[in-house]
Amino acid sequence: MGFILIIVSSLVYPLVDVLKKKATKNYGVKIIFWGIATFSLPFYFFYMMYRGIPEVDPYFWLIIAIDVPLLIYTSILLIKDEKIAPISTTLPLLSFTPVFLILTSYLFLGELPNKYGIIGIILVVIGAVLLKGEEVRQGLWKRIRHIFSTKATLYILIIAFIWSFNANFAKMAMMRSSVEYYLFVVTLLEAVAMNVWLFTKHRHDIKKVTKGHLLLLLSAAAITAIANIAFLNGLETIFVSYAIAIKRAGLIVGSIVFGAIVFKEKNIKYRIAGAAVMLFGIAFILVFH
């Protein structure tokens, strides 16, 4: 069941990124994050009330104090990246998170994938490199150099590295509370922080929000809530590194499909080849984990 929930959420997350990229045409980056955090909060509140408020370990609040600022920073950085770059070329680099997780999951949770799991994770990363085959054909070194030389790709690598810690923090926090309580507390703190920012420094932007494409923000918030609930419920029962590997593969395949259909991005044949390698890596994880 954990794997099923992770797979379902991985198919939903790409739609959120499409909505966020579309929203960047009408709103600033921080406004989009404000909208998603604020409008998704009721979903988490009612879900928590339905499941019940758990007993909370005091250590939970220490984890939250570290986790939430990092989540706010990376969420804003991700939207900024989606604004300046094609989703089919930069989002695949989030597949580096499972590689970082091999180390961080062992340090924080004592989770160490077996050799097949590690092979699967490495294949996911190789697939991400092959997604820009037009650059690989000109030399592997050029492709690797490109990853570290552009602002958009550097943003993604920073996010991937930080998220390798956040994924562990999420599981540790849920072990000391519950999925629904963790989601509600994190989103509440994000919403409070962004509302303070909006009403103190950018009050003039409120009218732009209400008169703009508000449906995009509402849709992104609702779909984000559904995907997060499914993903974190699955994360309770399987290794963090495996869960993130599956999530990234779904995100990458989705970014290719939506990139071609919605944003008319080019060189899709290379993206498909890279995605095939990544899916092969996911098969290793699912079959031999």
Chain-centroid distance, C-alpha 9 = 11
pLDDT at 205: 67
pLDDT reported for residue 125: 74
> Where do the H-state alpha helices sit in 52-178?
59-84, 87-90, 96-109, 115-130, 133-136, 140-147, 151-175
Q: How far, in Å, CA of 49 to CA of 58, rounded?
A: 21
Q: Name the residue type at position 141.
A: W
Predicted local distance difference test score (pLDDT) of residue 142:
62
More confident residue, 1 or 137: 1
The tens digit of pLDDT for each residue in 155-210 reads 888 888 898 888 888 888 988 998 899 999 999 999 999 889 888 876 776 666 76
User: Using an 8 Å Cβ cutoff, are 102 and 118 in contact?
Assistant: yes
Domain that holds residue 96: 2-288
Q: Is the overall model pTM greater than 0.85, yes or no?
A: no
Q: How many domains does the chain have?
A: 1
Whether the CB-CB separation of 177 and 60 falls below 8 Å is answered with: yes
